[in-house]
Amino acid sequence: MSDWREEHDSMGAVFVPSDKLWGAQTERSRVHFPIGTETMPTELVHAFGIIKKAAAKANRILLPEKMTEEKCAAICAASEEIMAGRLQEHFPLVVWQTGSGTHTNMNVNEVIAARANRQAGKPLLHPNDDVNLSQSSNDTFPTAMHIAATLSIEDRLIPALDSLIDELLRLESENAEVLTIGRTHLQDAVPIRFSQEISGWRASLAQDRAMLLASLPPLLELALGGTAVGTGLNAPRGFDALVASEIAALTGKPFVAAKNKFHALSSLDEMVFAHGAMKSLAGDLMKMANDIRWLASGPRCGLGEISIPANEPGSSIMPGKVNPSQCEQVTMVAVQVMANDVAVGLAASQGNFQLNVFLPVCAYNFLQSARLLADSIHAFRTFCVCGIRPNRIRMQENLHRSLMLVTALSPHIGYESAARVAQLAFQESITLREACARLGLLTEDRFDAIIRPEEMV
C-alpha cells in the first residue's frame, strides 16, 4: 500500500492515494459514487476557495480564540491556491453525489487542511473544526453557487455579449444604405435596409443583456451564516454580514447576507431567474444564427444574399463545399442551454422543508450554460459575424423581383386591385409593372413613380 496513506474520519479509517490532498470523506464519495464523468465545475471550486478564505478572516475577528492568526493565514494561503486553480487535480468528485453538495464542501475542507498541514509540517488544521468553522455544507454550497453564477455572468458572459453587440453596431453602420427584401413567414415581404435587419439582431441581444443584468442583484444575496437549517446554529452573531463583506472585498462584487436564510437554503429562485435570462439569450442567438445561415445559403442555389467566412472544408465527399459551421455551433449551444433550463427549473422545484437537495445538478447545468454561451458567442463573433459581407447584386435582384412591392400600390389602386396585379405577375411570370399595365390600372410611368423601394424603408 505504498501508494496509499491512511486517513480517518468519524466513521473510521480510509485509504487515500498518497499523492492526493483529499481525505477520508472525499475518498468515501469517490468510491460510492462512480457515476458519469461530470465532475464539479471549476467555477464552483473556485467559489469555494473564496468562501473558505472569507470565512477564515471573519472567524479570525469573531472567534480569535479558535481561529488563531497562524490557522487563518494557513487557510487563506491554501484557499488562494484553489482560487488560482493550482490544486484542481485534488477535486475529483462528480456532480451525481449527495444533493446538498456536502461531499464537495468536505473535499475543499480536506484539501485546504492537508495542504496547510504539509506546509506547516504539523497537524495545524482540522477539516471540520477549523476550515469549516461557523459553516455548514447547507449554506456554503448555495453560497458557492451564487458566487460562481455571478462571476460567470458578469465577468465572462456579459463581456462576450458586449463584443458581439459592438460588432453588430459596426455592421449596421457599414450597411446603412444597402436595400434588401424583408421576409415574413419565409415568404417575400416589403423592402428593408440590411442595417435594419442587423439592428433587429443587435436590439434583441441588448435586451437579453439588460435581463442578465437584472438577474444579478438577487444572486448577490448569500446563504452563508444560515448553517444547517437557516438558524445560524454554531456561527457567531454577525458572522453572516461580516463574511459577506469579506467575499465582496475578495470578488469586487457587492455581495450581502441573505435577509432570510430559510429561503436561501431551500430555494433556488434566483438561479432559475438568472438562467431564464440565459435561455432568452440562447433563443435570440438561435434566431440570429438561423437568419445568417439562411441569408448565406447557396452559394448559387440558395438565397445567397450575404457571404460568411469560409473557415474549413464542409464535406468529406463534396470538394469545395463550405458550410455555416459557426451558425451550427451556436444553434447547438442554444439547444443545450434550453435543455439545461428544464433541469434548473425542475431542480428548483424540489426543495423540501429546510433544504433543496438538487444543488449540484442545478449548479452544473447553470454554469455549463454560462460557459457555453460565452465561448460560443466569442467564436461566432470572431469566425463568422466579423466576416459578414452583403451580396449587393443578389439583394437588388431579389428586391426588384419581389411581388410584395405591390404593397405600395394599395393606397393608389386599392388592396384588391393590388392583389390582382400580384397574382397576375406570379401566374404569368411577368413584372409587376407589366401586370399593372396589362390590367389597365396604372401607366408604366405612374407605376415607376410609385414603386421606389428606397422610399419604402
Cell of 120: 506547516
Active site residue 204: no
Alpha-carbon dihedral angle through residues 185, 188, 194, 198, given to the nearest 10 degrees:
0
Distance between CA atoms of residues 378 and 354, nearest Å: 40
Q: Are 75 and 57 in contact (CB under 8 A)?
A: no
Q: What is the largest CA-CA distance in the chain?
A: 102
DSSP 9: E
Distance between CA atoms of residues 264 and 246, nearest Å: 19
Among 105, 92, 97, 106, smallest CA distance to 35 is for 97
Q: How many CA atoms are closer than 13 Å to the CA of 88, on its beta-carbon side?
A: 12
Active site residue 185: yes
Cell of 61: 475577528
Q: Are 202 and 169 in contact (CB under 8 A)?
A: yes
Which member of 18, 173, 315, 410 is catalytic? Answer: 315
Distance between CA atoms of residues 348 and 273, nearest Å: 11
- Length of the chain in terms of residues written: 457
Could you count the other beta carbons within 10 Å of the beta carbon of residue 1? 7
Give all strands (DSSP E) within 114-225, no chain letters: 179-184, 187-193, 221-222
Which member of 185, 378, 400, 412 is catalytic? Answer: 185
Could you count the other beta carbons within 10 Å of the beta carbon of residue 254? 13
Among 366, 315, 305, 370, smallest CA distance to 341 is for 366
DSSP assignment of 43-54 equals HHHHHHHHHHHH
Alpha-carbon dihedral angle through residues 146, 150, 153, 158, given to the nearest 10 degrees:
160
φ, ψ (nearest 5 deg) of residue 225: 110, -15
Q: Is the peptide bond before 41 cis (omega within 30 degrees of 0)?
A: no
Among 378, 330, 384, 379, smallest CA distance to 171 is for 384
Give all strands (DSSP E) within 119-272, no chain letters: 179-184, 187-193, 221-222, 256-257
Cell of 424: 397576375
Q: Does the CA dihedral 333-336-342-347 come out positive or negative? A: negative
DSSP assignment of 229-245 equals TSS-TTS-TTHHHHHHH
Helix axes 359-383, 42-62, angle to 10 degrees: 120
Report the catalytic residues: 185, 315
